[in-house]
Structure 1
């Protein structure tokens, strides 16, 4: 229940929860969102739900084909390819910077996050694995320590997390993340960039194959 809290806090919580439902697959492309039903389920008024829907529409998660019909957006192949184009450019930069700037504390953060991803992978629980893998990438971004890059990534983070969820080759992802960690830990920016580039391109191929099979 979120009643009794300031509207801005409630709106943010509702937005985050709806985004999480889409990223983790609880809400799937084509599913319809009904304000009244969501408000009842979340224990809030319809206003923060309405505002959350607007926010998620601007993020590219939802679409409104008619005034009273809100759907989880079905991304086209072009949408997914463009997201990977952007992810490739930004993630390669982030990993190169992380290799330069991580230091002992930064590497400890990445190691802890990687260990969490390993435990999640062994659990076989899709939602837990998705959260852990996304956290690993968030930690790389934090360790990179580039404020403008962080600002640029924020509007895309939800959709990029959704892309991560599509690839259920979880043990392969863990192997790639371990290789990425080792590349960053080496302190060699070019090695880290190369590892990041390979990681993104493998995931592009796998995800496109899963979402748009020939």
Structure 2
């Protein structure tokens, strides 16, 4: 593992350690399959192994790392089967459910928030800032799923969002035209603004499930890192 963690103060415990590791995964500094050794991380951060062990357990529960008993802990990966058969259908249903039940309540402030997110996407795409582009993409869709939502859909979303992050980070660097990402999301806003549920569903299905969408992107195979 070539990535080096920053030293942490002795008072740093589980959550700070987990945040450091999470940030390294989300930014792409740590990649799928990279080994995470408690002793090495503890030494780099200047903490004992206990908080590192607890942090790795938390990250495993979030789907960001995988622990192989009697072997090692590694940065988690996702494969095409999980993406196409689980994550895409779940995400699509979550978003369409929120739209069907909340469309009439989506006001000017809601649309301003989405447009602001797209502006950040454009800047990230122009600068080839993969990490920010991924986070703003996720934020856009999270804003729709969690709009005035405090119950079950929220729990489901938080259960899959980190798996989506891993896939997005893995795929985005291979996507041929990053400017398409904000452009595609502008089409989503136009569809929402139409208030036409049939049109919205068609645009959403194409955005999330089409073979060359960022989530599916057929040119990526499971052997590429």
With normalisation by structure 2, the TM-score equals 0.79
Could you tell me how far 1:164 is from its partner in structure 2? 2.4
Structure 2 contact 77–167 (Cα < 8 Å) conserved? no
Cα offset, 1:88, TM superposition = 2.1
Distance 2:45 2:193 in 1: 43
Structure 2: which 5+ residue stretches go unaligned?
A: 1-7
Can you give the 5+ residue segments of structure 1 that lack an aligned partner in the other structure?
none
Superposed, 1:122-201 pairs within 5 Å as 122-143=126-147, 145=149, 147-165=151-169, 166-167=171-172, 168=175, 169-201=177-209
Equivalenced residue count is 208
Greater share of helix = 1
Conservation of the 8 A alpha-carbon contact between 1:130 and 1:164: yes
Aligned-pair RMSD on alpha carbons?
A: 2.5
Q: Does 1:205 align with 2:205?
A: no
Report the alpha carbon displacement of residue 157 of structure 1 after superposing the two structures with TM.
Answer: 1.1
Q: In structure 2, how many angstroms separate the alpha carbons of the residues matched to 1:137 and 1:111?
A: 12
Deviation at 1:13, TM superposition (A): 3.3
* Residue aligned with 2:66, SS: strand
C-alpha separation in 2, matches of 1:41 and 1:187:
53
Q: TM-score, normalised by structure 1?
A: 0.83
Match of residue 118, structure 1, among 122, 140, 161: 122
Which residue of structure 2 lines up, in the alignment, with residue 91 of structure 1? 95
| Higher-RCO chain (CA-CA 8 Å, sequence separation at least 6) | 1
